[in-house]
Amino acid sequence: MNLLDQPEYRFLQTDPRLGRNVIFLTYGGSYAYGTNVEGSDIDIRGCTLNSKTDLLGMGSFEQVVDDHTDTTVYGFNKLLSLLINCNPNTIELLGCKPEHYFVLTPIGK
């Protein structure tokens, strides 16, 4: 069973800002670094496209954070801003192994 098929990750499909707008989802933290041990928590990180409303300046969206699953999905504009500022929590998302991506669309690549 795919990790994201578990009920606690259902919000990734039902949240209107996520679902089909997600361009990548991957491991973060110890699983991304290959330093996980038995009992390590699973961190999921990703990016979703901003809506047309956001792009026109009529809305504002930065990220979805789910503390229960330790999942953070950044809005595309927010992710770019963090990357430009060399934020280490986002830079790590660019170097994940191909098998660590749960979702990777052509735009996400």
- Taking phi first (over 0 means left), then psi (-120 to 50 degrees means alpha), and beta for anything else, what does residue 24 get? beta
Taking residues 82-89, report their average pLDDT: 94
CATH 2.60.40, applies to 3-104: no
Q: Cβ distance 73 to 12 under 8 Å? A: yes
What is the pLDDT confidence band of residue 95, given thresholds at 50, 70 and 90?
confident
Give domain limits for the chain.
3-104
What is the pLDDT confidence band of residue 1, given thresholds at 50, 70 and 90?
low
Mean pLDDT, the chain, integer: 91
CA atoms of 1 and 24, how far apart (whole Å): 19
Residue pLDDT, tens place only, 18-44:
999 999 999 998 888 888 899 889 999
